[in-house]
Amino acid sequence: MLKYSSSRTRGTLQLRSRPLNRESGLTLVELIICVAIVALLASAAIPIARFQVKRTKERELRRDLWEMRDAIDHYKDAADKGAFQIKADSLGYPPDLQTLVDGVEVTAAQGKKVKFLRKIPVDPFTNNTDWGLRSNQDDTDSDSFGGQNVFDVHSKSTGTALDGTKYNTW
């Protein structure tokens, strides 16, 4: 490598050559080893990230189910107290989830509606708002919804949770 010298000899600028330093920089082998180590560490992190994503979705599913079940319970309590008119065959449960969102008109106050749910949540595993429903009149082992009223709600996902249970049994 050539280096300019600041000293002047006889009015001319002299160039000094410096020998190449073989220890500066990375060799190809060192670079391949570094890339292999980084790839190994990254491949170990991928399963941990997937596990974390699944656990987060499970928490969201549990929260959504709790929120809808709580709304169904509040609807049932209000119906049992006579806050609004109900169908005789409904046993005080809502006819569908949309009724919880739209609300029901209170009998005591003209034009006033009581809403029990802001919106129907999206199932984190099926990515839609279509939930499995159970009616109070359905058989306990039945997978189909009779349509009379909404007694319970569950996910339609057939996946398996981290604890080994099926999401549609939660």
The verdict on residue 119 lying in a domain is yes
The verdict on residue 9 lying in a domain is no
The verdict on residue 106 lying in a domain is yes
The verdict on residue 159 lying in a domain is yes
The verdict on residue 58 lying in a domain is yes
Strand partners, 2: 17
Tell me how far apart the alpha carbons of residues 99 and 115 are, in angstroms, rounded to a whole number: 8
Residues of the chain with pLDDT under 50: none
Q: Into how many domains does the chain fold? A: 1
Say if residue 20 is exposed, middle or buried (CB neighbours under 10 Å; 0-12, 13-18, 19+): exposed
The H-assigned helical ranges of 81-163 are 97-102
The verdict on residue 66 lying in a domain is yes
Q: How far is CA 1 from CA 12, 25, 95, in A?
A: 20, 15, 86
Instruction: Identify the DSSP state of 132.
Output: E
The verdict on residue 77 lying in a domain is yes
Q: What is the pLDDT of residue 168?
A: 86
Tell me how far apart the alpha carbons of residues 70 and 62 are, in angstroms, rounded to a whole number: 12
Range of 44's domain?
30-169
- Structure tokens belonging to residue 41: 């560490």
The H-assigned helical ranges of the chain are 28-80, 97-102
Q: What is the pLDDT of residue 146?
A: 66
The verdict on residue 7 lying in a domain is no
Taking alpha carbons only, the member of 109, 88, 85, 110 closest to residue 99 is 85
Strand partners, 16: 3
The predicted-structure confidence for 58-104, as pLDDT tens digits, reads as follows 999 999 999 999 999 999 999 888 888 887 777 888 989 999 999 88
Q: What is the pLDDT of residue 70?
A: 96
The H-assigned helical ranges of 81-129 are 97-102
| Secondary-structure breakdown of the chain: helix, strand, coil percentages, each rounded to the nearest 5 | 40, 15, 45
> Tokens 């909404």 belong to which residue?
150
Tell me how far apart the alpha carbons of residues 53 and 85 are, in angstroms, rounded to a whole number: 44
